[in-house]
Amino acid sequence: MTSQDSPTADHSTSGAYVKAGEEFDRDMDYIPDRITRDSEHWPVEPGRYRLVAAKACPWANRAIIVRQLLGLEDVISLGLTGPTHDRRSWTFDLDPGGVDPVLGYERLQQAYFARFPDYPKGITVPAMVDVPTKQVVTNDFPWITHDFFFEWKQYHRPDAPDLWPEDLREEMEAVMKRVFTEINNGVYRCGFAGSQSAYESAYDRLWDTMDWLEERLADRRFLMGDAITEADVRLFTTLARFDAVYHGHFKCNRTKLTEMPNLWGYARDLFQTPGFGENTDFDQIKAHYYVVHTDINPTQIVPKGPDPAVWLTPHGREKV
- Paired with 135 in beta bridges are 130
Query: Distance (Å, rounded) from C-alpha 249 to C-alpha 236?
Result: 18
Is the dihedral angle over the CA atoms 136, 138, 144, 147 positive or is it negative? negative
- By the 8 A CB rule, do 45 and 153 touch? no
Expressed in angstroms, the distance from the first to the final Cα of the chain is 34
3-state helix, strand and coil shares in percent for the chain, rounded to the nearest 5: 40, 10, 50
Question: At 244, which amino acid appears?
Answer: A
- By the 8 A CB rule, do 207 and 200 touch? no
Query: CA angle at residue 272 from 145 to 79, to 5 degrees?
Result: 40
- Helical H segments across the chain, by residue range: 58-69, 109-115, 141-150, 169-178, 186-191, 196-216, 230-241, 261-271, 282-292
SS (H, E, C) 176-211: HHHHHHHHHCHHHHHHCCCCHHHHHHHHHHHHHHHH
**How distant, in Å, are the alpha carbons of 64, 71, 92, 132, 154 from that of 102?**
17, 20, 11, 10, 25
Active site residue 188: yes
Chain CA centroid to CA 253, Å: 21
**Out of 188, 199, 203, 289, which one is annotated catalytic?**
188
Active site residue 190: no
Query: Distance (Å, rounded) from C-alpha 276 to C-alpha 233?
Result: 8
Question: At 66, which amino acid appears?
Answer: V
- Paired with 222 in beta bridges are 225
**Out of 57, 112, 190, 266, which one is annotated catalytic?**
57
Active-site residues, by number, are 57, 188
